[in-house]
Structure 1
Amino acid sequence: MIKLEGITRRFGSLEVLKGIDLEINRGEIVSIVGPSGAGKTTLLQIMGTLDRPDSGNVLIDDTNVNRMKEKALSAFRNKNIGFVFQFHQLLPEFTALENVMIPAFIAGVSTKEAENRALEILQFMGLTERATHKPNELSGGEKQRIAVARALINNPAVILADEPSGSLDTHNKEELHQLFFDLRNRFGQTFVIVTHDEGLAGITDRTIHMVDGMIQPV
């Protein structure tokens, strides 16, 4: 599903990733853990095509995304990859439903089709009654679930999450973590989650440990 071969990345004189080889299977929920500065977020951004490696290959469904030009890469990303960040990044002027629909509009989906898909996802998450509320009218847990719904709107094969429960209280963390498994079971997505949360890492299918830009052997 996702294959990384010899991934390196430098920022100036700082070598952040030092030759990462990693394979993630379709339908897996994988956590990436390690101390701050280990290169976790940089790796996730390269995996999600938001950044390019200095060397190495990134293959998603056997497509080598390193060889794609920017316009084609943006379209590939929009269709195949969903993102969830620590802070939901919802647009405050739009309702929950409208926020969820935005990636579908970018993909050229009609308003009616995007709305029907968004409502289906919100219903699955138990958020139908919050569809017309703006972000400032939602709880922290609701905002993050809306962000997950937005990541799902184009039915991507992969969901990449960077500290998705980092800003939530214990109850909302547990609900969000369970949601990832419910979504995998319902829609079949592959999840890669960067986290400092030991509880989340402990329940994922596999945990990748990173230290100083390298993956530690199990």
Structure 2
Amino acid sequence: MISARGIKKQFGDLQVLKGIDLDINSGEVVSIVGPSGAGKTTLLQILGTLDKPNAGDVIINNTSIRDLSEKELAQFRNENIGFVFQFHQLLPEFNAIENITLPALIAGKNKAKSEEKARYLLSFLQLNNRETHKPAELSGGEKQRVAIARALINNPAVVFADEPTGSLDSQNQEELHKLFFQLRDEFKQTFVIVTHDLHLAHLSDREIKMKDGFVL
């Protein structure tokens, strides 16, 4: 489902990724773990097409990312990839429904049908009473669930999550751990998660361990 070959990335004189080869299967929940500075987030951004490697290629669903123009890449990302970030990245002036439907509207999908899908996702995530609430009116755990619904709105093949439990208390962390597996079972997505949370990592189908720019 995802194949990375020979991924190298450097910033100035700093070589962050030093030749990464990995494969991730469809429907897997995979955690990327390792000490700070190992290159985890850089690898996630490259796998998620948010950044480009200096060398190597990423293939997602038989599509070579290297061969796509910027316009094609933006469309591919919108149609195939969802993102969940540590600090939600919700737009403060929009309510939950509006935040969730934004990627669908960018993709040119019907507004009414997109809102219907957003309500279904909120119901699945047990937030159906928060449809019109803005981010400032939501708890940390609720914001993260809205962010997850936004990541799922276009039925992506893969969801990338960067430290998704990092800003949550222990109770919300545990609930989010369970939620990722419920989502995988319900929607059949692949999840790739960068985390320092060893509990979440150990629950994953597989851990990818990194150190000093290499996969161990």
* TM-score in same-fold range (> 0.5): yes
Q: Work out the CA distance in 2 between the residues paired with 1:66 and 1:35.
A: 29
Provide the residue aligned with 1:57 in structure 2: 57
Provide the residue aligned with 1:115 in structure 2: 115
Q: Work out the CA distance in 1 between the residues paired with 2:183 and 2:99.
A: 19
Provide the residue aligned with 1:69 in structure 2: 69
Superposed CA offset, 1:28-48 (max 9, x none): 000000111110000000000
Q: Aligned-pair distance for 1:62?
A: 0.9
Q: Work out the CA distance in 2 between the residues paired with 1:151 and 1:80.
A: 10
Superposed CA offset, 1:72-122 (max 9, x none): 000000000000000001111110111000000110011101101111111
Superposed CA offset, 1:117-158 (max 9, x none): 111111111111001101111000000000000000000000
Provide the residue aligned with 1:180 in structure 2: 180
Provide the residue aligned with 2:47 in structure 1: 47
TM-align CA RMSD:
0.5
Q: Work out the CA distance in 1 between the residues paired with 2:166 and 2:181.
A: 18
Report SS of the residue matched to 1:129.
coil
The letter of the residue matching 2:66 is N
Q: Work out the CA distance in 2 between the residues paired with 1:163 and 1:10.
A: 22
Report SS of the residue matched to 2:208.
strand
Query: Residues 69-148 of structure 1: matches in 2 within 5 Å?
Result: 69-148=69-148
Q: Work out the CA distance in 1 between the residues paired with 2:109 and 2:62.
A: 25
Q: Work out the CA distance in 1 between the residues paired with 2:127 and 2:178.
A: 16
Q: How many residues align?
A: 216
Provide the residue aligned with 2:150 in structure 1: 150
Runs of 4+ in 1 over 3 A off after TM superposition: none
The letter of the residue matching 1:192 is V
Report SS of the residue matched to 2:186.
helix
Gaps of 5+ in 1: none
Q: TM-score, normalised by structure 2?
A: 0.99
Q: Work out the CA distance in 1 between the residues paired with 2:157 and 2:56.
A: 22
The letter of the residue matching 2:108 is G
Report SS of the residue matched to 1:43.
helix
Q: Aligned-pair distance for 1:165?
A: 0.3
Q: Work out the CA distance in 2 between the residues paired with 1:107 and 1:120.
A: 19
Asked whether 1:189 is paired with 2:189, we answer yes
The letter of the residue matching 1:39 is G
Q: Aligned-pair distance for 1:172?
A: 0.2
Q: Work out the CA distance in 1 between the residues paired with 2:208 and 2:5.
A: 15
Q: Work out the CA distance in 2 between the residues paired with 1:149 and 1:72.
A: 24
Provide the residue aligned with 1:29 in structure 2: 29
Q: Aligned-pair distance for 1:60?
A: 0.2
